Structure 1
Amino acid sequence: MNRSFLCIVSVLIFIGNSFAQKDKVINLPSKDKKKIHYGYYLGINKKGFKVSYELANSFVDVEEKYGFNIGLVLGYNISDNLNVRLEPGLSSNSKVLTFSNPTIPDTEKDRVRKVPATYFRIPLLLQFRTDRLDNMRAFVIGGVSYDYNFSSNQKNSDDNFEGEFRMKTNNFMYEVGLGVDFYLPHFKFSPSIRGIFAMNNELVRDNNPASPWTLPIDYYGTRGIFLNLTFE
């Protein structure tokens, strides 16, 4: 994830330098004077899990995959530098879990679990923006979200003994990030990078309390990086 973060920051710096070198024609000078504003976003994500353990002889390897984000923006300008935002949307991603436990049979069917996930996310965020410099302004953003996991399998009676890995349907996340607003002639373009962190344990334990898949695990929680491109 660190390599992805550095690449994205480098791209943002390059874009910023390109804008700074252009003639100082002020685009959309009254764009941020409206109290209520709308837009949409799309982007990519890379998600994994933070895993902590009850037993020391177990380990879960999490193979992170890339996914996509898409959604809407409803914003309210509290002041020129402070904005509150609601950003409902979909986030899709998949992970591959490989369990290392001496009591689990050494076969791919028993040790490997593919975990697809599509979340309906409702983030409520605060955005702190710098003063505008020509056609740019930087910002930091953070807040909380409710995430509904369509692929959770929480109500499925089958568990890991039948090859089904289950996650909780209702989850809560917090996110923090930074980005830049670029004022183009006809719209505002805002790339941002964000870290996403689960607040609750998303794991649904197997029906058998002694399950070698879930007994050793204390906590499963989503961790991820989002790159969003917002258009307003």
Structure 2
Amino acid sequence: MRIENRQNWIGELLNDSQGGGRASGASTTYERRVPGCNGYPKLSMGCDGLRSLPAPECEHGEFVFDPATVYVRSRATNALLSQHQTRGYCPGESAEPMSSTQIVFTAADFQELPLVGSGISIEPDHEEYIIRLPVIVVTDPSPQVLETDVLGTQILVRATPETYTWEWGDKGEPTVTADPGKSYPEHTVFHEYVTLGAFTITLTTTWTGEYSIDGGSTWQPVNGTAETTDTAEPITIGERVPLLTG
């Protein structure tokens, strides 16, 4: 005899009003039989592949559990933590996972987020700057938190600046630093131009990431970084010529 509606049978067996929920630590396992697939066709065998598996031979009179897709969700937030497929199996046996899809936020996912650049502030705020005097730059080191969706689950992503690469627009070497800079007179990031003209300052910020699938209670690192680029309005470098008056 085959158990055609595995979810409902387990719900009755466990007397669980959620119909197939089994608590374990911080997560609850929900078992769904294959025909519905619940909108997740990306598992390796797919729904049709699981349905085509032969039923196991169990002892006479025992129920045979159909193949199923198993979803593991957070007990606190109901966020989907993972999912896997199982073969059909007999009572007393464990459901053998066929394949698994974990909720993982990748570096590619991180790099596709609409991160906002950390910004450029140039000091002092002049229309023209003086050759061989420091042009001071400052940026905002604040992290930013965004929401996105993975496999139908809402997750939080926190991006934190790691390094700043300043391109000065002249022939000087870029400045790479973890320092966001400070204002005058404690300024720490600056550049002195040695030629006259108009120059455009560009800032590339490298961000590290963390993601949370439980509303921000716990965070996991993103295995990779993302970059944003800010470009300031061109500045003019001039010189002051002293005038003698008699």
With normalisation by structure 1, the TM-score equals 0.30
Larger Rg belongs to: 2
Q: Counting strand residues as a fraction of each chain, which structure ranks higher?
A: 1
With normalisation by structure 2, the TM-score equals 0.28
